[in-house]
């Protein structure tokens, strides 16, 4: 029992590291998509306001144009 549990523990250690790495990569990828604006439409669909809204949801094209027009009507870049 003792040796078996030790080997099981040893086998699980690299797997944990692997899982940690996968988790880190997943977080990084998600962060990159959020930062670049790639995930903006997904966010919009997930927001509670969109889910609860009575008015129809915007299509990806409509959302893309609408968010750009809002973003570029106020200072969004510094000197």
Partner 1 sequence: MKRFLTIVTWLAVAVLGAGALGAIAVHRGEPLNAMWFVVAAVCCYLVAFRLYSAFVAARVLVLDDTRATPSERKDDGRDFVPTNKWVLFGHHFAAIAGPGPLVGPTLAAQFGYLPGTLWLIAGAALAGCVQDFIILFCSIRRDGKSLGQMAREEISSRGGFIAQLAVLAIMIILLGVIALVIVNALKASPWATFTLSMTIVIALLLGVYLRFLRPGRVLEASIIGLALVLFAVVAGRWVGESASWSQVFTLSGVALAFALIVYGFIASTLPVWLLLAPRDYLIAFIKAGAFFILAAGILIVRPQILMPPLTRFIDGTGPIFAGRIFPFCFITIACGAISGFHSLISSGTTPKMILRESHARFIGYGAMLLESFVGVMAMVAACSMTPGVYFAINSPASIVGNTPEAAAATISAWGYHLDAHSMTDLARLVGEKTLLNRAGGAPSLAVGMAQIFSNTIGGERLLSIWYHFAIMFEALFVLTVLDGGTRVGRFMVQELGGRLWKPFGRTSWLPGMLISSAAIVGAWGYFLYQGVVDPLGGINSLWPLFGISNQLLAAVALVVATTILLKMGRLRWLWVTLVPMAWLVVVTMTASYQKVFEANPRIGFLSGANQLAVQIAAGSIPAAKIAETQRLMFNLRLDAAVTIVLASMILLMLIEALGQWYAILSRRREATLHESPYVRTQWAPGFSGAAHGDD
Contacts with partner 1 by CB under 8 A lie at 27, 30-38, 40-41, 43-50, 60-61, 63-79
Tokens of 61: 């094209």
Please report where in the chains the tokens 């299509």 appear, as a residue. Answer: 59
Tell me the closest approach of the beta carbon of residue 1 to partner 1, in angstroms: 37
**Rounded to a whole number, what is the distance in angstroms from the first to the last CA of the chain?**
67
State which residue, 2 or 69, has the beta carbon closest to partner 1: 69
Give the residue from 72, 45, 47 showing the smallest Cα distance to 59.
Answer: 45
Q: Quick one: 14 or 75, whose CB is closer to partner 1?
A: 75
Distance CA 45, CA 64 (A): 13
Considering the complex, what minimum distance in angstroms separates the CB of residue 12 from partner 1? 23
Cβ-based nearer residue to partner 1, 21 or 32: 32
């Amino acid at each position: 029992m003792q040796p078996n549990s030790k080997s099981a523990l040893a086998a699980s250690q690299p797997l944990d590291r692997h899982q940690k790495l996968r988790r880190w990569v997943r977080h990084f990828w998600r962060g990159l998509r959020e930062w670049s604006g790639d995930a903006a439409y997904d966010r919009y669909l997930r927001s509670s306001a969109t889910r609860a809204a009575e008015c129809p949801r915007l299509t990806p094209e409509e959302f893309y144009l609408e968010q750009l027009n809002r973003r570029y009507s106020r200072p969004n870049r510094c000197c």
